[in-house]
Chains A and B, each alone.
Chain A
């Protein structure tokens, strides 16, 4: 028995732990167990990743029922990478959690952390499962937990944000279910590998086309792709800081992964991109998202909303990489998926530190704070460099690959667009830095102490990771390439 045998426990540990945590009394014990569970699943994910890269695909049949009759977890480089990202970010975010949660949520925390673990287990389950319907179930598990977590926000607008997210998210998930229903009706199977085998014969079937469209729209909603992004800014802005940090690093990434899994593995790229004009559709939406997201972010006065709009722009970068439909483009998408999680987590953590001390995320309340909370705002500035894409940061690496992929595809104009949106990022990050360091503290404002170490250390850890992965790209680029290969499949013909 090696740790590899415990592959499904990446999901099962948080799932089982959520049941236990729900019963734990007090405020510290639930957190501790949650941290242990998330760390354990991150460790298993870290063991599984190298194995998944070197071997074709690991499969785990639940209840020993062989697929396609039973549900299997099927792990290749692509989902092992995403699983490691999600569980790793969850563990790091949890390190940051206690102080922030203590200031925002009252009473016993068992239920809160149980919901967090459910959300985590749902996200990991979506990633690992090899069964199309199972994706829907785990999607709803994580979504339901997420709605409730958002509603924990102190502001009453959190309730409205959660409700609107619930409506839109459910419509999106139901769209996914309709797509899966169509696939099931024409093929009679729900196993993804099985679907991939049977679909090529059904190229001209309208139900298959409709299925792809429904799945793309459904996942686009969860991914906050441009015209479907409306739920995201308010949900991020009014959720408790800890929840925002976690969601910003993981939720949209997993939705992107599901979309990729369906586009590439289930439908095969030459169906999605050659028979159907998916490439054009995604590219237009991605570019529109990059611009609209950055543009709106430039004028936000609420910092969490600003970062949320920036997230919509960053989703645009990822989808742009996908829409190129080349190995390099996919590598860039996976790289940005990973790097953006690091960047956004660091930025939201820094804002969370500010909110912990001042209780406000308004740009005006940040004025002159740079000298009073130097460590926090330096962390914000450094993470900001990463989102702009300054060399030696993680953000640079992913943009570099995106530019490479664009040039490779002969689309020079995309390079220009990426540069312009990066400049827009410079602007919205600079506004914060200007307010923090180059404005005077309003007269009569009480002095603000530096954020406590319990918050600063994890924040700086993520900032350091940003720079580490900006310099040492072996893990990220290697894994992203393997992930792209895994999705494209061996010898799959590309346009």
Chain B
């Protein structure tokens, strides 16, 4: 779809805003509605739009398949180990109060870290899902073409 000028120009204009909104929802999550999940999905949507316009290969140049896979696990681990930190500092699991003397700050710190983990995982998993299906389609089409050539 890269040949279509309108799509290219508009998407080039839109993608940064989509990513920005994603980040805004991410880092404003503890004050207003939002949080890691929504932010991750919006962020991934920006990347997916990019792939739709410029093709999967250029999309994978931005972030490779392995990187997505690793980051999705890292996000989960970030969440899990933040929870563990609460235990190590003498509280319960996912207890953020020991992080700081001020309970308000403590909760905020904990939530921001945890939500960042969630956002990271959701964004990369959404990208992974898209890539997996898109790649299958590519392989499928290639296989069909080979079959056609073989039968001729």
Is there direct touching of A and B in the complex, by C-beta distance under 8 Å?
A: yes
Q: Within the complex, which residue of B69, B76, B84, B91 is in contact with A64, where a contact is CB–CB below 8 Å?
A: B91
A36 to chain B, nearest CB (A): 16
> Is the C-beta of B50 less than 8 angstroms from some C-beta in chain A?
no
B111 to chain A, nearest CB (A): 10
Q: Is the CB of A62 within 8 A of B77?
A: no
B63 to chain A, nearest CB (A): 16
Which chain A residues border B92 with CB–CB below 8 Å? Answer: 60-64
> Is the C-beta of B96 less than 8 angstroms from some C-beta in chain A?
yes
Which chain A residues border B81 with CB–CB below 8 Å? Answer: 16
> With the chains together, A42 CA to B37 CA distance in Å?
32
Q: Is the CB of B70 within 8 A of A64?
A: no
Q: Is the CB of B80 within 8 A of A19?
A: yes
The chain A residue sitting closest to B79, CB to CB, is A19
Q: Please give the number of chain B residues whose Cβ is less than 8 angstroms from any Cβ of chain A in the complex.
A: 17
> With the chains together, A63 CA to B107 CA distance in Å?
10
Which chain B residues border A22 with CB–CB below 8 Å? Answer: 69, 73
> With the chains together, A8 CA to B95 CA distance in Å?
13
Q: Please give the number of chain A residues whose Cβ is less than 8 angstroms from any Cβ of chain B in the complex.
A: 14
Mark out the residues of chain A between 8 and 59 whose CB falls within 8 Å of any chain B CB in the assembled complex. Answer: 8, 12, 15-16, 19-20, 22-23
The chain A residue sitting closest to B76, CB to CB, is A19
> Is the C-beta of B86 less than 8 angstroms from some C-beta in chain A?
yes
Which chain B residues border A62 with CB–CB below 8 Å? Answer: 92-94
Which chain B residues border A64 with CB–CB below 8 Å? Answer: 91-92, 95, 97
Chain B 50-86 per-residue mask, 1 if CB under 8 angstroms from chain A, else 0: 0000000000000000000110010011001101101
> With the chains together, A22 CA to B73 CA distance in Å?
7
Q: Is the CB of A19 within 8 A of B73?
A: yes
Q: Within the complex, which residue of A15, A23, A60 is in contact with B80, where a contact is CB–CB below 8 Å?
A: A15
> With the chains together, A419 CA to B84 CA distance in Å?
52
A112 to chain B, nearest CB (A): 14
Q: Is the CB of B86 within 8 A of A63?
A: yes
Mark out the residues of chain A between 358 and 397 whose CB falls within 8 Å of any chain B CB in the assembled complex. Answer: none
Q: Within the complex, which residue of B70, B84, B93 is in contact with A63, where a contact is CB–CB below 8 Å?
A: B93
Q: Within the complex, which residue of B69, B77, B91, B94 is in contact with A16, where a contact is CB–CB below 8 Å?
A: B77
> With the chains together, A194 CA to B139 CA distance in Å?
53
B1 to chain A, nearest CB (A): 32
Q: Is the CB of B77 within 8 A of A20?
A: yes
Q: Is the CB of A16 within 8 A of B93?
A: no
Q: Is the CB of B94 within 8 A of A63?
A: yes
The chain B residue sitting closest to A18, CB to CB, is B76
> With the chains together, A175 CA to B77 CA distance in Å?
32
The chain A residue sitting closest to B70, CB to CB, is A23
> With the chains together, A19 CA to B69 CA distance in Å?
11
> With the chains together, A321 CA to B93 CA distance in Å?
37
Q: Which of A16, A19, A23, A61 has the most CB of B within 10 A?
A: A19
B107 to chain A, nearest CB (A): 9
Chain A 474-489 per-residue mask, 1 if CB under 8 angstroms from chain B, else 0: 0000000000000000
> With the chains together, A12 CA to B93 CA distance in Å?
9
> With the chains together, A8 CA to B94 CA distance in Å?
11
Which chain A residues border B77 with CB–CB below 8 Å? Answer: 16, 19-20
Which chain B residues border A19 with CB–CB below 8 Å? Answer: 73, 76-77, 80
> With the chains together, A19 CA to B96 CA distance in Å?
22
Which chain B residues border A60 with CB–CB below 8 Å? Answer: 92-93
List chain A positions with a Cβ less than 8 A from chain B.
Answer: 8, 12, 15-16, 19-20, 22-23, 60-64, 114
User: Assuming A19-B73, A22-B69, what are 15 further A-B pairs, CB within 8 angstroms?
Assistant: A8-B93, A12-B80, A15-B80, A16-B77, A16-B84, A20-B73, A20-B77, A22-B73, A23-B73, A61-B92, A62-B92, A62-B94, A63-B96, A64-B92, A64-B97
The 7 closest A-B pairs by CB, nearest first: A63-B94, A64-B95, A19-B76, A16-B80, A19-B77, A64-B92, A22-B73
List chain B positions with a Cβ less than 8 A from chain A.
Answer: 69-70, 73, 76-77, 80-81, 83-84, 86, 91-97
* CB pairs A–B below 8 angstroms (30 shown): A8-B93, A12-B80, A12-B83, A12-B93, A16-B77, A16-B80, A16-B84, A19-B76, A19-B80, A20-B73, A20-B77, A22-B69, A22-B73, A23-B70, A23-B73, A60-B92, A60-B93, A61-B92, A62-B92, A62-B93, A63-B86, A63-B93, A63-B94, A63-B95, A63-B96, A64-B91, A64-B92, A64-B95, A64-B97, A114-B73
